[in-house]
Structure 1
C-alpha cells in the first residue's frame, strides 16, 4: 500500500486575474521555485483555498485550469472561480481579491484523471456544463500537448456565448488542433441554428449527441463535470450508449453546509474511542455515535479537528477526497461517498468527513492516503 504525502497549505501571491464572463475569473498564482515540486499537478486536479471569513476557517476547492506543460514553463498556477449565488467564498474572491494579494493555497489533490502516455492513440470525451469546464480544460490542453496521437471531443453546455467560460481559449485550442479536438457547444438560451445544439445538456440531449456526433465505440475515457442534474444525466446517457462505467470519471463539486446543531461530546456522550495517525504520530479522542439526524452527526474528521491537530480537508461534503484516510482497525460507516471507488473502499479507505463510528474502538491513518 502506497503512502502519499499529506496536502499542505502555503501562501501564494496573486500574479494575474483574467475575467471569465461577467460572472467569474481565472486567478493565476505565483509558485516560487522552491515550491514548484509541491504544486506539480496531474491534469484534472484541484487546489483548496482557505480564508478566515466571519471568524471561521472557510475552505473551497477550485480546479486547476491549465495544461501541465504551461505550469512547468510559467510557474503560475491558474484556477477558475465562478460566482455562485449566495456563495461565501466565490463572491469574496471575485469582489475583493486583486493582483498582489496573498492567499492560503493547499497543494494539489484529486483523482479526476487517467494516466497519459506519449505513445497513446486514444479518444477522450469530455462533458462539461458551466464552470465544470475548469478541470476539463486542463485535461483537454494537457492531453493534446502530451499525447500527439490522441484526440479529444468536448460537449460543452452553457446558457449563451457571453456566459461561456474560456470560450476564446477553447476556440484557440481547436484552431491549433483541428484534426484532434472537436468542440461541440450546446446553448440553452441562444439559438445556434440547429436543434441538436440548442437546449439543456440533459440525458436526452447527451444521448442525441452521442448517437449523432460522437463515435462512442472509440472512446477510451470520459470526463464529466458540471451541475448535479447534468452529471446524473450524462452518466445515464453514457451507460445507455454502452460505455464501460469503469472508464467514466465524474467530478462532483459542492460545499459543506454547517449543521444547525453540532454534537457536544462530553464524558457522558455515547461515543467510540478514536485513534488517528498523522505524520507518524498517534492521537486519541472520542467520536459520538450516529444519530437519526444526519445533519447533526459527529464525524471522524470533526472529532480529530477538535483535538487541535491540523488534518487535511476541503469540501466536507464527500466530493473531493482531500480527507481520505485508511481504517486500520474497527468499523465506520460513510454517510456519503462520491469520491472513492469500490476497490478503495474494500481496501479500507474512507472519507473521514462522512464517517460515523460503528464499533467501539477505531484506528484511522491519514498517512495512508
Structure 2
C-alpha cells in the first residue's frame, strides 16, 4: 500500500513509490511502469487524518523520516489550505540534503504560507550546521524540540510517520511531556521485526489449544473454515481456503484487511493501524488475528 501525497485541492491523486532493494512492486513501478498504463487500485483507507474546518485555529506538529513524508505532505497541504488560521510545524529526518524527498515542494509551501509553516530538517550523515538537527529523530531530540521549538501541551494534533523505532520513541516522549494520546496520529512504513515479532510469537504460543470454526462475510457472501488457534492468521487461513480477501502489508500497519468481529474472541499479534475507538467498536486486523474461542465470525462489509 502507498500513501497519497497530493493535497485535496490538487485535482489529482499522486503517490510516491521509492524503489526498495528486492521489492516486487516498487521495482516494477520504477523500472517498467509507463505513462498510459492502467492499474487497478482500492479506495483510500486508513486513519491517518483528522477533521479539518475553515473556522478552526489549531497548532499541528508532524515528525517524518525518509519516505514517511509522503502522507505528511498531503496532510500539511490540506491543513494550510483548509484552515487559514492554523499553523504547522514539520520535523523531517533524512540522511543527507540530496536524500530529502519533496524538498522543492516543501520549500514552495514555506514561501506560500510564510509565518504559518515551519520546517526543520534533520540530517544523520551530513552535518547541517547545528548539533540540534544532526542525527536521527530520537526521544531526546523530540524532548529538546518540545522545549525550544513548540509547546507540546499547546499542540492540538500530532502526525508521526516513519520507521517503527522513531515513531514509537516520539509517541512515547510526546505522551510523557503532556500530549493527549488521542491527538497523536501514527503511521508506520514497515511491519514489526526483531523484538516485536518475538513478543508476538510468544502471545500466539500462549493461546488456548482449540480449533475454531471461523466464518468470514465479504460482499454479502459467507465463507466458513476450521482454524487452530496456534495456526495461521484468519486472513492467511481464509485465503488458503480459497477466499479472495482485501490485504496489503500483512504486518498490522495498513488496515486494508480490517473487519468487524461479530462473534467470538480473537488475539491480534500486533496493531499499528486501528485506533482506540475502532477497537471498542469491535474492529480487528485479520492479518494479525488468531481465534481464541470455538466460533468466530468476522465481517468485511461492516
Please tell me whether residue 158 in structure 1 is matched to residue 98 in structure 2: no
Aligned positions, number: 287
Structure 1 residue aligned with 2:265: 331
Match of 1:82 among 18, 22, 42: 18
Partner SS for 2:13: strand
Check the 8 A contact 1:155/1:185 in 2, yes or no: yes
Structure 1 residue aligned with 2:170: 234
Partner SS for 1:106: coil
Please tell me whether residue 132 in structure 1 is matched to residue 68 in structure 2: yes
Unaligned runs of 5+ in 1: 1-60, 258-268, 291-296
117-126 vs 347-356, which moves further: 347-356
- Residue 255 of structure 1 and its aligned partner are, at CA, apart by 5.5
- Residue 288 of structure 1 and its aligned partner are, at CA, apart by 2.6
Match of 2:81 among 145, 155, 159: 145
Please tell me whether residue 182 in structure 1 is matched to residue 122 in structure 2: no
Q: TM-score, normalised by structure 1?
A: 0.74
Structure holding more strand per residue: 1
Partner SS for 1:192: coil
Check the 8 A contact 1:279/1:367 in 2, yes or no: yes
Structure 1 residue aligned with 2:52: 116
Partner SS for 1:135: helix
Structure 2 residue aligned with 1:351: 285
Check the 8 A contact 1:256/1:316 in 2, yes or no: no
- Residue 235 of structure 1 and its aligned partner are, at CA, apart by 1.2
Deviation sequence 1:236-288 (CA, Å, 0-9, x none): 2212321111111110122699xxxxxxxxxxx97321111112222222223
Unaligned runs of 5+ in 2: 194-208
110-119 vs 78-87, which moves further: 78-87
- Residue 139 of structure 1 and its aligned partner are, at CA, apart by 0.3
Quick one: distance in 2 between partners of 1:232 and 1:190?
24
- Residue 161 of structure 1 and its aligned partner are, at CA, apart by 1.0
Deviation sequence 1:17-67 (CA, Å, 0-9, x none): xxxxxxxxxxxxxxxxxxxxxxxxxxxxxxxxxxxxxxxxxxxx1100010
Partner SS for 2:14: strand
Structure 2 residue aligned with 1:365: 299
Structure 1 residue aligned with 2:129: 193
What is the Cα-based RMSD across aligned positions, in Å? 1.8
Please tell me whether residue 306 in structure 1 is matched to residue 246 in structure 2: no
Structure 1 residue aligned with 2:151: 215
Structure 1 residue aligned with 2:212: 272
Q: Please give the residue correspondences for 1:242-257 in structure 2 after superposition, counting only pairs within 5 Å.
A: 242-254=178-190
Partner SS for 2:40: strand
Check the 8 A contact 2:210/2:293 in 1, yes or no: no
Match of 1:282 among 217, 222, 241: 222
Quick one: distance in 2 between partners of 1:234 and 1:69?
30
Check the 8 A contact 1:332/1:355 in 2, yes or no: yes
Quick one: distance in 2 between partners of 1:228 and 1:289?
27
Check the 8 A contact 2:54/2:83 in 1, yes or no: yes
